[in-house]
A and B are shown apart, each in its own frame.
Chain A
Amino acid sequence: MSQVTLLEALNMALARAMTDDAGVVVLGEDVGVNGGVFRATVGLQQRFGPERVLDTPLAELLISGLCVGMASQGLRPVGEIQFMGFVYPCIDQLVNHASRLRNRTQGRLSCPMVLRVPHGGGIRAPEHHSESTEAMLAHIPGLRVVIPSSPEHAYGLLLAAIRDPDPVVFLEPTRIYRAAKGEVDDDGVALPLDAAFVLREGRDVTLISWGAMVRETLAAADALDTEGISAEVIDLATLKPFDENTVLASVAHTGRCVIVHEAARTGGFGGEIAALIAERGLTSLLAPIARVTGYDTVMPLLRLEQHYIPSVDRIVAAGRAACRFN
Chain B
Amino acid sequence: MTKNWPDNQLPVIARFDVRYRNYLAPDGAITRPPPAFASDIDLLVSLYRAMVLVRAFDLKAVALQRTGRLGTYAVSLGQEAVAVGVASAMRGEDVLLPSYRDNAALIWRGVKLEEILLFWGGDERGNHFSGPVHDFPACIPVGSQAPHAAGVAYAFKLRREPRVAVCLFGDGATSKGDVYEAMNFAGVHKLPVVFVVTNNQWAISVPLRLQTASETLAQKAIAAGFIGEQVDGNDVVAMHAATTEAIAAARDGRGPRLIEAVTYRLGDHTTADDAARYRPPEEVQARWKNEPIGRLRAYLAGCNAWDKTKEEQLVAECQTRIAAAVERYLVTGPRAPETMFDHLYATLPPVYAAQRRDVEENR
Contact = CB atoms under 8 A, between A and B. Distances in A.
A197 interface: no
Contact of A307 (B71, B176, B337): B337
Interface in B89-104: 100
A172 interface: no
A204 interface: no
Interface stretch (B115-123, B288-296, B308-316): B115-123
Contacts of B355: 265, 295-297
Interface size class of A (residues with CB under 8 A): 35 or more
Contact of B210 (A55, A265, A295, A313): A55
B6 interface: no
Given A303-B121, A307-B340, A126 B100 contact: yes
Contacts of B335: 303-304
Interface stretch (B76-84, B189-197, B201-209): B201-209
Interface in A275-322: 295-298, 300-305, 307-308, 311, 313-314
A127 interface: yes
B363 interface: yes
Given A58-B203, A59-B175, A126-B140, A302 B122 contact: yes
Interface in B24-65: none
A33 B203 CA distance: 13
A58 B173 contact: yes
B13 interface: no
B176 A59 contact: yes
A128 interface: yes
Given A29-B206, A30-B205, A89 B362 contact: no
Contacts of B352: 295-296
B124 interface: yes
A138 B211 CA distance: 32
Contacts of A89: 176-178
Interface in B250-283: 272-273, 277-278
B319 interface: no
B120 A126 contact: yes
A297 B273 CA distance: 30
A32 B204 CA distance: 12
A48 interface: no
Contact of B141 (A128, A295, A296): A128
Given A124-B71, A126-B120, A34 B359 contact: no
Given A126-B72, A296-B355, A303-B334, A57 B212 contact: yes
B344 interface: yes
Interface in A144-166: none
B142 interface: yes
A46 B319 CA distance: 45
B39 to A, nearest CB: 41
B74 to A, nearest CB: 9
A85 interface: yes
B207 to A, nearest CB: 9
15 contacts: A29-B203, A29-B206, A30-B205, A56-B206, A57-B172, A57-B211, A58-B143, A124-B122, A126-B71, A126-B72, A126-B120, A127-B140, A129-B140, A303-B122, A303-B334
Interface string A171-207: 0000000000000000000000000000000000000
The 5 A-B pairs with the shortest beta carbon distances in the complex, nearest first, are A302-B122, A34-B205, A57-B175, A58-B172, A307-B337
Nearest to B341: A297
Interface string A10-38: 00000000000000000001101111010
Contacts of B123: 301, 303
B44 to A, nearest CB: 34
Contacts of A35: 277
A125 B277 contact: no
Nearest to B68: A124
A274 B359 CA distance: 23
A55 B177 contact: no
Nearest to A127: B140
A58 B337 contact: no
B321 to A, nearest CB: 24
B70 to A, nearest CB: 10
Given A58-B206, A59-B176, A295-B359, A304 B340 contact: yes
A5 to B, nearest CB: 17
B340 A298 contact: yes
A129 B142 CA distance: 12
A56 B176 CA distance: 11
A94 to B, nearest CB: 16
Contacts of B173: 58
Contact of B341 (A85, A265, A295): A295
A89 B178 CA distance: 9
Interface string A50-81: 00000111111110000000000000000000
A255 B272 CA distance: 46
A33 B278 contact: yes
A291 to B, nearest CB: 11
Interface in B229-248: none
Given A29-B206, A300-B340, 12 more contacts: A55-B210, A58-B142, A58-B176, A58-B206, A85-B141, A89-B176, A125-B72, A295-B341, A295-B359, A297-B341, A303-B335, A307-B362
